[in-house]
Amino acid sequence: MSDPRGMRTAYCGELRAADVGREVTVCGWVDRRRTHGEHLAFLDVRDHTGIVQCVVDERIEARSEYVVRISGVVRARPEGTANPALATGEVEIGECIVDVLKRAEPIPIPLHGDVDENLRLRYRYLDLRRERMQHNLRIRARVTAAIREAMDAQGFVEIETPMLVASTPEGARDFVVPSRLHPGNFYALPQSPQLFKQLCMVGGLDRYYQIARCLRDEDLRADRQFEFMQLDAEAAFVGADEVIDFIGTAVGHTVEAVTGSPLGEVPIITWDEAMERYGTDKPDTRFGMELIDCTDLFAGTQARVFQVPCVKGITVAGGAEMGRNRIDELTATCKRWGAKGLAWFRVGEPGEAGAPALEGALTKFMSAGEQAALPERLGASTGDMIMLIADERPLANRVLGLLRLALGRPPVTEGGLAPLWVVDFPLFEDIDEAGNPRPAHHPFTMPNPDDLDYLVRGGGESLLKVRSQAYDLVINGWELGSGSVRIHDAAIQKQVFATLGIDDEEAERRFGFLLEAFAYGAPPHAGFAFGVDRLTALLAGEENIREVIAFPKTQSGADPLTGAPGPIEPGHLTELGLRLRPA
Ligand code: ASP
């Protein structure tokens, strides 16, 4: 194997006191030049491993970002000049021979400190020189290597599936590619390899995986880009338990490979439980503040606001000091989220009866018993704040879940990793305006066999009760990935399509190949996919996945570096059989 050091004998960041006396050649960029006096200058030379100080003749022309090769002798820095902030801070390279390999124009963005993100992406090749990006992209490479190690060790076969495909519905819009050879026809870019991996199971490959690029035309967010990478996996003759096991092993191995510490046991909770305890199907369990049901405490209440199907609350520890402005702000936010209001109580010193006294606008409508029972139920004590939402149960859960996050969620770098599996998702998320249910996962998810009878077209709200065999992996409130046991029977698949409002003709046209494949001996199978960008961001302590992607798009989906998306030549349009409508 050739020496990765190439034309150098040492990396800048690796030199230590133990290297004193060593003759070395380092290569890199001039990070900073400082005057030394005595006809000498300091050059801080940077490569991907760090920075080392070189003492050079001041006549040498080498400014910031010049590319240099420097040969010299490692020596201890003079008494009192060591820099403890730098890993190489005890040494410097002296007696230097400097070879300027390439001069550089003054660079348009600084490499230290904050810079506007658009500028960072406009000059991404410079931004990549920052220590943060160097660090994050190396974590990313470790993540993908570790995933491969874990999947290979578990007998999975890496298989590539095509990028030019027919549409695979995952709930987003497709990116489409016009076909030159079939004018008027389009490929879709894959929202996921879902259907191909199922076909691999019909094809007897048994255990498939791929670190797959997926493309979805939907609004970009901190945890979402148009294109993203996922570990995509599928296995035959397994159920949900085995999937949870092999994906858990892959994630556990990856976390350990990057952080050096095991992920630990991953708890499993049902979707119902997640909604009741956290008000969301992707709970951040790094902190408590769980939603507590208080409905029964108000069974015979005189207070009109609490004469509703559900009253639930959270305790904000030490929150009694919250000012009126902040409370009003939170109330307005809860209303925006759909609640009628926010009931709040400061928990004061215990009164005569021994229970802490409540202070709040609603206490005058509440009995002494209700006032005493509330802090006890919520485990609240003097100095805390109690916040209640009274409404229909799903709405109370949802709003309180958002409030819990707004008031309690720690920054991404705190609280370690809190993973959990959420299982037993409903098959349908909601019913759209046209009366069609929307799949909570995707249309290929196996319903719970006990609920098959409810799967009738026009089933209305009762459809929302149909359970599926779908499960999510959640870490720190991020949906890391989803999967399910699949339908492998054409009759059930047609029944689900029909419930979704996809009639036989459309099912045949769009998914006929899948239904046909099921006719030729499809094994029972199940699978999963999790986001590599999201996992990397969590491990790198980044809030935004753009920080762990070498060349991401901006929030508006553009690439300021290459100018994409841009117009194409009129001739190219003609060749594709396309004509633009006048704007
Ligand atoms: N295809 C699904 C997705 O991309 C994952 C799966 O069900 O395996 O979310």
**CATH number for the domain harbouring residue 32:** 2.40.50.140
The reported pLDDT for the residue numbered 452 is 82
The CATH number given to whatever domain includes residue 328 is 3.30.1360.30
The CATH number given to whatever domain includes residue 220 is 3.30.930.10
Residue 279 lies in a domain: no
Number of domains observed in the structure of the chain? 4
Measured from the CA of 527, which atom of ligand 1 is nearest? 8
Which of the four pLDDT bands, split at 50, 70 and 90, describes residue 4?
confident
Q: What is the mean pLDDT of residues 342-360?
A: 87
For residue range 185-201, what is the model confidence (pLDDT) as tens digits? 999 999 999 999 999 99
The reported pLDDT for the residue numbered 458 is 57
Q: Do residues 244 and 308 share a domain?
A: no
**For 168-177, 307-316, 329-338, 368-377, which range has the lowest pLDDT when averaged over its residues?**
168-177
Q: Do residues 223 and 295 share a domain?
A: no
The DSSP symbol for 277 reads H
Q: Do residues 390 and 351 share a domain?
A: yes
Quick check: CB of 190 below 6 Å from ligand 1?
Answer: no
Quick check: CB of 484 below 6 Å from ligand 1?
Answer: yes
Quick check: CB of 192 below 6 Å from ligand 1?
Answer: yes
For atom 1 of ligand 1, the residue with the nearest CA is 194
Q: Can you tell me the distance from the alpha carbon of 323 to that of 253, in angstroms, rounded to the nearest whole number?
A: 46
Q: Do residues 22 and 94 share a domain?
A: yes
Task: Tell me the range of 63-67, 459-463, 487-491 where mean pLDDT is highest.
Answer: 63-67
Quick check: CB of 170 below 6 Å from ligand 1?
Answer: yes
Q: What is the mean pLDDT of residues 70-99?
A: 97
Q: Do residues 241 and 293 share a domain?
A: no
Q: Do residues 260 and 302 share a domain?
A: no
Pocket test for ligand 1, best of 195, 282, 441 (most atoms within 8 A of CB): 441
**Rounded percentage of the chain residues whose pLDDT exceeds 90:** 87
The reported pLDDT for the residue numbered 167 is 84
Range of the domain at 241: 131-264+529-574
Residue 4 lies in a domain: no
Answer yes or no: is pLDDT of 457 > 70.
no
Q: What is the mean pLDDT of residues 108-122?
A: 95
Q: Do residues 256 and 335 share a domain?
A: no
Q: Can you tell me the distance from the alpha carbon of 216 to that of 210, in angstroms, rounded to the nearest whole number?
A: 18
Q: What is the mean pLDDT of the chain?
A: 95
Residue 304 lies in a domain: yes
Answer yes or no: is pLDDT of 453 > 90.
no
Residue type, 129: R
Residue 118 lies in a domain: no
Q: Do residues 539 and 518 share a domain?
A: no
Strands (E), 38-90: 40-47, 50-57, 67-76
The residue among 161 and 453 whose pLDDT is bigger is 161
Q: What is the mean pLDDT of residues 379-405?
A: 97
Residue 7 lies in a domain: no
Q: What is the mean pLDDT of residues 176-185?
A: 94
The reported pLDDT for the residue numbered 412 is 87
Answer yes or no: is pLDDT of 355 > 80.
no
The reported pLDDT for the residue numbered 171 is 85
**For 47-51, 77-81, 223-227, 460-464, which range has the lowest pLDDT when averaged over its residues?**
460-464
Answer yes or no: is pLDDT of 483 > 90.
yes
Residue 119 lies in a domain: no
Residue 461 lies in a domain: yes
Residue 479 lies in a domain: no
| pTM, rounded to two decimals | 0.94
Asked whether 263 and 256 are in contact (CB, 8 A), the reply is yes
Which of the four pLDDT bands, split at 50, 70 and 90, describes residue 2?
confident
The reported pLDDT for the residue numbered 336 is 98
The DSSP symbol for 221 reads B
Q: Do residues 97 and 207 share a domain?
A: no
Residue type, 454: Y
Q: Do residues 35 and 144 share a domain?
A: no
Q: Can you tell me the distance from the alpha carbon of 219 to that of 113, in angstroms, rounded to the nearest whole number?
A: 29
Q: Can you tell me the distance from the alpha carbon of 256 to that of 414, in angstroms, rounded to the nearest whole number?
A: 18
Residue type, 379: G
Pocket test for ligand 1, best of 192, 229, 243 (most atoms within 8 A of CB): 192
Pocket test for ligand 1, best of 427, 480, 482, 485 (most atoms within 8 A of CB): 482
Q: What is the mean pLDDT of residues 563-577?
A: 93
Q: What is the mean pLDDT of residues 309-332?
A: 96
Measured from the CA of 193, which atom of ligand 1 is nearest? 1
Strands (E), 179-336: 186-188, 207-215, 227-236, 268-270, 292-293, 310-316
Q: Do residues 18 and 62 share a domain?
A: yes
Q: Do residues 140 and 254 share a domain?
A: yes
The reported pLDDT for the residue numbered 459 is 67
Asked whether 26 and 49 are in contact (CB, 8 A), the reply is no
Answer yes or no: is pLDDT of 350 > 60.
yes
